[in-house]
Amino acid sequence: MRGPHNIWRLIRTGATFERTGAMAVVLEAMEAPARLRFAARLLGWPFKWLGVKGDPTLPPVTRALTALGPAYIKFGQILSTRPDIVGDELADQLKYLQDKLPPFGMEDAKKAIATELGSPVEALFESFSEPVAAASIAQVHRARVIETGQEVAVKVLRPGIERAFRRDIDAFYFAARSIEYIAPFSRRLRPVDVIAHFEGVVMGELDMRLEASAASEFAENTRDDAGFQVPTPLWRLSGRTVLTLGWAEGIALSDNPALDAAGHDRVALGARVLSLFLSHALRDGLFHGDMHQGNLKVAENGDIIAYDFGIMGRIDAYTRRVYAEILYGFIRRDYRRVAEVHFEAGYVPADRDIDEFARALRAVGEPIFGMEASRVSMARLLAFLFEVTEKFGMETRTELILLQRTMVVVEGVARSLDRHINIWEIARPVVESYITGNLGPLAFLRDLTLTARVLSRFGPRLPRLVEQALIAQAVLPPPVKASRTRRRLAQLGLALAVFGLGLWLGRVL
């Protein structure tokens, strides 16, 4: 239930950070001003005793997040990929959250599998290991299928995880509504909508059937991608709380020493992670929405293996074109075109000055070019972007939240492999390829053909539409009749024209 009782949960969050020592570490890593640090400590100290103690063997921030619950752990997983924001030391500590959390008991896992699949584990698998990885939502066991002898990974949801997530998300909703009330200027960022989006993503991750479907579709889309593998699901051994996939053998992408020892080129791997993500987002409109190091391995032959498909992102064709044009404009340093795309897509209110917006975008983009990537402070860059978007009244685009978040995570993963990587140089060939195929005369003809085919399905209904227009002309008052009739006839004329064009294009193409 969302209500004031969530104040306790938010107080407990701050108290836990203070009790575990995480508050000071986070403020130091974020280079918070001295006054903010003093205020945070002053407000947190009286409630320190209310915080959760956590595991004292863990570093402070990791200890606090694991004590607070799965939603906080998800947040920590994102920060673990951003050493440029939180620093190398803290980022390394947070990698623990990706796949090294304490597992739940074997008996609970076997009971969940038997309940979901209708047979005991011993009847399905000839071998079933102790947990090999454990994250915020589920843990993974290595097994061998009795019927086929295939090596598989069996993913099992944590008991009670859905209830725990709902409890955390309720507190997030309360915080978002409180922020909107206390700071009205924040409403343009739509914090409640952001939490609603996060809730939808997480709730989808708690149904393994949806993850199996996403894995299957993602594998089909990427089967021709060089240097990339996606394990496929075994449907008969999967259900709502259990997912069985082909086993993926490889070195964790977070283990740089092991990658070096195996002779893998980390610079090439970093570039491939970025280019694959962009290709999946732009080409397919379906991308892996949780591409941190804990969900990526490197096979013996150098292929990148992706797994854990609980969070997948989708963007429609129009949004992909907008996104590509914005990226392409930044790559070409054509800030006027980037500004125009924002206005055309409705991202910026039409009453704002487009030239001023283009100048502001130039101030954001220019410092990136010609500067070594390791010297770019992403935290400061994002802070400046926030100022620009606030000035021009841009609202948070909830349909792009996951794309933007994943872009940040993927860049962090790539930078952990090659700290000198330049995202713009890697993005250029992918974006240019997409632009060539989707913006131009051939793309226009393809879109027109598709539109015509859709309209052609309504061909049998055209006589009825004409009849309705004539009936309306006879019934409505003269001024209304004339206006509405002209509009309907214009619509019908356009529909007939496109219908005829569709038939012609169908013959030609």
- Known catalytic residues? 290
Pair type for strands 242-246 and 151-157 = antiparallel
Token pair listed for 415: 């930078």
> Cβ(438)–Cβ(321) under 8 Å?
yes
The secondary structure of residue 157, as a DSSP letter, is E
Q: In whole angstroms, what is the distance from residue 416 CA to residue 414 CA?
A: 5
Q: In whole angstroms, what is the distance from residue 449 CA to residue 507 CA?
A: 11
CB-based contacts of 325, cutoff 8 Å, min separation 6: 337, 338, 341, 435, 439
Q: In whole angstroms, what is the distance from residue 102 CA to residue 158 CA?
A: 11
Token pair listed for 482: 């004339």
> Cβ(319)–Cβ(281) under 8 Å?
no
> Cβ(333)–Cβ(421) under 8 Å?
no
Token pair listed for 134: 């454990």
> Cβ(411)–Cβ(247) under 8 Å?
no
Q: In whole angstroms, what is the distance from residue 123 CA to residue 144 CA?
A: 11
Q: In whole angstroms, what is the distance from residue 494 CA to residue 490 CA?
A: 6
Three-class HEC string of 290-310:
CCCHHHEEECCCCCEEECCCC
> Cβ(417)–Cβ(267) under 8 Å?
yes
352-379 as b/e: b if 16+ CB within 10 A: eeeeebbebbbebbeeeeeeebeebebe
Q: In whole angstroms, what is the distance from residue 191 CA to residue 112 CA?
A: 36
> Cβ(169)–Cβ(199) under 8 Å?
yes
- Give the chain's length: 509
